[in-house]
Amino acid sequence: MKGFNRARTGLAGAVATFTILALAACGSSGDGGDAGDGGEGGDDLIRVGFSQLGAESGWRTANTESVKASLSEENGFDLTFVDAQQKQENQIKALRDFIAQDVDVIAFSPVIETGWDEVLQEIKDSGIPVVLVDRTVDTTVDDPYVTWIGADFKAEGTTAGEWVKENAPDAKIFELQGTLGSGAQVDREEGFGEVVGDQIIGKASGNFTRAEGKTAVEAALQAYPDMTMIFTHNDDMGLGAIEAIEAAGKKPGVDIQIVSVDGVRDGLQALVDKKFNYVVECNPVFGDQLAELIEKVAAGEDVPKETIVIDKAFDQTITQEEVDARAY
Ligand code: GZL
């Protein structure tokens, strides 16, 4: 059972029971600090244990900076931040440490959807409220968290699919997927597949990293020589794909079009450079909204079950000035 039955909304769709946020790409700069930093604050601070899944992509880096900048001591938080290096066992250990430290609120971005039942039950038994961040969980634990904030991944996949249907209806598509079993991978695959699934000739995971994306595309170019498009679940893997395509003597954006998700600056620069063809944004800068939710949860106030972060989309009409003005 998924922890919640998320109503699917279009990118522009507003859903009554959710708080829809139009987020400015505000220039949040992290307060620095390494994994495991924090935890020495005073009594009146809200003690938060945050397990971040890793530092695998430009998106994650921007998200971490936003979270750290908002959950600062000057804003009333005593943050213990732990980077799990994309390993679920590291996240589970951090969550158990947060229980032992008896923090006020536990927040985490689960690297994959499953495998959390035992630790979520332990947290529930401890009485510490959970705020789910970015990724989603699929668990048998009843009512495992108070609230979730993140993007509508299925809508992102649908938006990418609709652009392909409109602009490349004959494309032969290789799908470069994120971390297998992660909410972002599962839902983007579902949304994209519902629109243009019959155009997909192959799939493989690049685990949301540039290096693994390059390796996956090097193999795909051999396995699917007639591919004309790559749908990549994030910009970082798409940038790795560009390297592989150029090494094979082909032109990214022309011989092999690239449709991507995230909208980090390097991805949008590839759009300006005509090596990407379309980018669906997935906004990582929601630290302020997360801080507001955690404050309310710590005070026992009501919060929406979900807060969906609004995304935009970009094509090759984007200008260099627009890219330069982006905060991440
Ligand atoms: C999406 C986030 C994904 C990004 C990737 O909200 O979970 O994880 O799309 C990141 O860049 O690795």
Residue 316, in any domain of the structure:
no
Residue 242: per-residue pLDDT: 98
User: For residue 241, how far is its CA from the centre of ligand 1 (angstroms)?
Assistant: 17
Ligand 1 and 135: CB distance under 6 A: yes
Are 10 and 140 in the same domain? Answer: yes
Residue 233, in any domain of the structure:
yes
Are 244 and 273 in the same domain? Answer: yes
Cα(196)–Cα(259) distance, integer angstroms = 13
Query: What is the position in ligand 1's atom list of the atom closest to the CA of 233?
Result: 9
Task: List alpha helices for 248-316, DSSP H.
Answer: 265-272, 287-298
Are 125 and 189 in the same domain? Answer: no
Ligand 1 and 207: CB distance under 6 A: no
| Other beta carbons less than 10 A from residue 286's beta carbon | 25
Cα(229)–Cα(170) distance, integer angstroms = 10
- The residue ranges of DSSP E strands in 88-245, in sequence order, are 105-108, 130-133, 147-151, 173-177, 200-205, 229-232
Residue 326, in any domain of the structure:
no
Are 162 and 204 in the same domain? Answer: yes
User: Is pTM, for the whole model, over 0.85?
Assistant: yes
Are 226 and 251 in the same domain? Answer: yes
Instruction: Output the average pLDDT for the chain.
Output: 90
Residue 17: per-residue pLDDT: 42
Are 75 and 208 in the same domain? Answer: no
pLDDT at 11 over 70: no
- Provide the residue range defining the domain that includes 295: 4-151+284-310
User: For residue 102, how far is its CA from the centre of ligand 1 (angstroms)?
Assistant: 29
The pairing of strands 278-281 and 313-315 is antiparallel
User: For residue 64, how far is its CA from the centre of ligand 1 (angstroms)?
Assistant: 12
User: For residue 41, how far is its CA from the centre of ligand 1 (angstroms)?
Assistant: 30
Are 18 and 140 in the same domain? Answer: yes
Q: pLDDT digits over 74-114, tens only?
A: 999 999 999 999 999 999 999 999 999 999 999 999 999 99
Mean pLDDT on 190-199? 98
pLDDT band at 9 (very low <50, low <70, confident <90, very high): very low
Q: pLDDT digits over 51-76, tens only?
A: 999 999 999 999 999 999 999 999 99
Residue 32, in any domain of the structure:
yes
Residue 244, in any domain of the structure:
yes
Domains held by the chain: number:
2
Residue 185: per-residue pLDDT: 98
Residue 318, in any domain of the structure:
no
